[in-house]
Amino acid sequence: MRPFNEHTEVSVTKDSKNEGPIPSAWRPTLKSIVDAFVRHDYRLADGVAGVAPVSEKTATQIRTYIQEYGAELVSLPQESWATSVCIWMGDHWDALIDLWTEEEGSSDLVLQVHVSEVGSEPLVTVYMVYVP
């Protein structure tokens, strides 16, 4: 088995015992979510395909946490996939995406999402942004 890096093609697996890398198929959607946050669109008002609507409460938590963190969020670089992880929870995946900032590069902030299967398509639900 070859070692994982941010360029490795990763398929979707349901492993409830071990964290694994973010599947390649989810990455464009997750990148679009973070790009919206970079534009301060925490409710995803412009819409992101495959993502559930973000509640006002969740959007407020994300906006407040990022503002209080005190650094400017930037779009996800390819390197973020080398450290971001997910795990199967029985009915959804719990995923943590490492966020990057202008000031720090790789930051302590993470985006937590749940990914469910709706038919054959993933549905991403934004859960929160925080420092674990």
Q: Please check the confidence at residue 3 and state whether its pLDDT lies above 50.
A: no
- CB-based burial of residue 58 (10 Å sphere; 0-12 exposed, 13-18 middle, 19+ buried)? middle
Closest residue by Cα to residue 128 from 75, 67, 70, 60: 60
Q: Do 112 and 96 form a contact (C-beta atoms < 8 A)?
A: yes
Decide if pLDDT at 98 tops 80.
Answer: yes
Q: What is the pLDDT of residue 63?
A: 97
pTM over 0.85: yes
Residues 112-125 have a mean pLDDT of: 93
